[in-house]
Amino acid sequence: MKKCIIFGTTYFSEMLQYYLEKYYEIKVVGYTVDKEYFEKSILGGKRVVPFDNVEDIFEPSEHSIMIGIGYNKMNNLRKLKMNEAKRKGFAIQSFIHPSSTFENVSLGEGNIVFENVTMSYGVKVGDGNIFWNGCNISHHTEIGDYNFFAPSSVLAGKVKVKNNCFVGINASIRGNRVLEDYTLIGAGCHMNVNSELYGVYVPERSKKLSNKISTDFM
């Protein structure tokens, strides 16, 4: 059985352990964090070790590492730790939930794909991306590295997402659009234009109707 360690000691990290051990023939043998965040030596019955010398404790040739970091600092923290782990000699662990559907998709390393994600024909995905449940990525879309796609986000055909972007819950991107590096798309946003570098896009927020109550309508 293959062995893996997980970077991080959050709820996200514990969830990744559950998925890896349930759906893959992988045994999670420990966790690792940066020394300045080292607070506990045991998590869920697994050993926690400082990342600074993790390679001295878990032999890189015998263990993969999964980066249990979300969209912190527009995904830069995940990028940093993934690259550091590779320099230490670890293979980067990916995960694809068995309920997800891919059709002629190209995937890089270190991607995490949760339940019921659909990727259509000709989709290309780089490294270190996270796709939460229910994402729909349409045909011939190209996705770069270290992006985060929140639940039920939708990309139409031939969209290009560059690097370090965040696409919020239920956001939709129209076909043939480009998201430049470090674009932030808020929850529920309908993106009908190309984004700008470091751009932030949000929809109009819901508001309470004045002088109305629910029983006026139904």
pLDDT reading at 37 higher than 90: no
Mean of pLDDT values over 64-73: 97
Report pLDDT for 187: 97
DSSP 62-112: TEEEEE---STTTTHHHHHHHHHHHHTTPEEPPEE-TT-EESS-EE-SS-E
Q: Is the pTM of this model over 0.85?
A: yes
Query: What pLDDT digit, counting tens, does each position of 109-135 carry?
Result: 999 999 999 999 999 999 999 999 999
Query: What pLDDT digit, counting tens, does each position of 81-97 carry?
Result: 999 999 999 999 999 99
